Structure 1
Amino acid sequence: MKALLIDDNPTNLFMLSKLVQNAGIADVVSFRDPVAALAEAKVVQFDMVLCDYMMPGLDGLQVVRALRALTDYADVPIVMVTTVDQKQVCYDALEAGATDFLTKPVDMAEVKARVRNLAALRDMQNKLRDKADWLSAEVRKATHEMVLLEEEIILRLARASEYRDSDTGAHVVRVARTCRELAEEMGMTAQFCRDIYLAAPMHDVGKIGVPDCILRKPGPLTAEERAQMETHASVGAAILSGSESRLIRLAAEIAETHHERWNGSGYPRGLSGTTIPVSGRIAAVADVFDALVCARPYKDAWPVPRAVAFLKENSGTLFDPKVVAAFEARLLRIMRILEEQPDDDATAAA
């Protein structure tokens, strides 16, 4: 434990230092200049301060106020040393933030008792702070583990849907990365950009409920088959609904609304315009673009310029114009995603 003593009188300072050491505090630093003492307090954490009132330059009240203004000295015990007839100074010192005061001539037994009591108080403060720091670290650790668990659940659910679908695992990764690019370009918060990146891979999790004969059909779907395929949006929302997790709730929102269209012609609810959640509007553009430029058993891949032209032609009808504008602004980065996350040739041709 470290004590800071401030008194312009060298004799008083020497005697006070000995008394504090006799009270059990071995590490004592003494200053005759209050300005120099304050400068030291800014770089060294003291556990207790004893300060005389009458000093040149700065008096004790000014020193107490200056110490209390320092972040690390909000709770440090500060003792003001005054003469017997300075009652008002004692009151002012307590108002300024002093913890206790001693009167001159000081009584050795009183000094020892007060210093020991204040040292015990400081020791308890330090233990409580250490306990609070430990608890805070444990909370951060538990929160981090919970986030990792959420991410794992999402990725495993996405992987489960991949096994049923003719789309590849690279598709869900590309859609997720593209969603994040679009969200960033649209000025969304860092939290939302991260969340949509993690939630978007589950946009097609509802395909778990669609028969293989429809999912893997090499040719066009019949009207009945198309209707059954379209149930995957509602099924995905049902699988993910009711969660306490913000991330899972966002994934449910994307699963349900990524096939809604700006003009109301989409499914499952026929939402239009801004009644479609922004997450669904972003995922719609990312999903359609990736589906167009990648080969599947039932279609050839479109050239990128043709797919971009399709999005621009349908801006304001099928797609949110702001999302399409963000897509155009990030096109080079999105094309890089295509290069970095290609489909496995065997999977794409299956």
Structure 2
Amino acid sequence: MTQPDATPLRRTPLHAAHQKAGARMVPFGGWDMPVQYAGVKAEHEAVRKNAGVFDVSHMGEFRVTGPDALKFLQHVTPNDVSKLRPGRAQYNWLPNERGGLVDDIYIYMAAPDEYLMVVNAGNIDKDWAHLNALTAGYDVQLANESDNWALLAVQGPQAAALLQPHTDVDLSAKKKNAYFAAKLFGHDVRLARTGYTGEDGFEVFVDAAQAEALWDELLALGITPAGLGARDTLRLEAGFPLYGHEFGDDIHPLSSHYSWVVKDKEHHGRAGLQAAPTQKLIGLKLDKVPVREGYPVKVGGEVVGRVTSGTTSPTLGHPIALALVNPDAAAADAFEVEVRGKDHPASRTEIPFYKP
């Protein structure tokens, strides 16, 4: 019997540009995405020392408008959206009812009664259904604009200096979590100073039809194209949780060091977040052997948890990992991580692993 074809991978507006730049493409969250170009270490170091550009166009964008837009967002998230003003952005969560997360998100306030929500690529359909199921009783309109936008992230200590001559906005006047309209190489864009690499940088929202031209102009400045490999090593060094690894539908987000997200207010999923987490997220350092997601973490030979993310840190030169462990084991200093049937020593270390 002929098997039905698998669902084809989606492509961002920059797919041809990635192939032109020699990217190695891999499936990621239903998308065909670049994992590396020149190599993960070279791309990682470019972002740490100069600037790199990532294609994050696979992320989803939802427009939230209407007289009850703020009231609705306050209902579906635990952070205090009322603190936002036009031109500001905020990290937030979409909790479910059982003490996990539907997703972790960013909310950008464009104007009174108008917000843009950016969600993880693999969660677009799930988030859309979740939000629409909660609109009853609110005078609010949701629009899925994910296919309209390309999103490029220019990250690194030289990002602002490299972009400044080509934009009409004083970037030095824009603080962390700013969100604003600008011209960039003559393109009408929205810029956000949020970031996920631990370095300074700007996310560039641009019309999908203009994405490839803008990408070429950024590369012509000497900005290094960077793929998913460097994105992961950079965010892990910075200690940032990643949905599907440190966060998930059945992972209590307060296991992490992100308790600051939850404010004292009524919201959907509050009861689940108030339940005590049964795990704690810790940082681990190893001497030589890199570890990966799912590897057992032990204390004195007894399994106390598992690795959620691991890599060899290009900046620090040794393996690092995030792990979810039993709360009573989290205070230990010495751990072992089982790799292919053999235990390797690991020591608990502070998160983030690296600060610029």
The TM-score normalised by the length of structure 2 is 0.22
Q: Which has the higher contact order (CA 8 A, sep 6+)?
A: 2
- Higher strand fraction (1 or 2): 2
Q: Which has the higher helix share?
A: 1
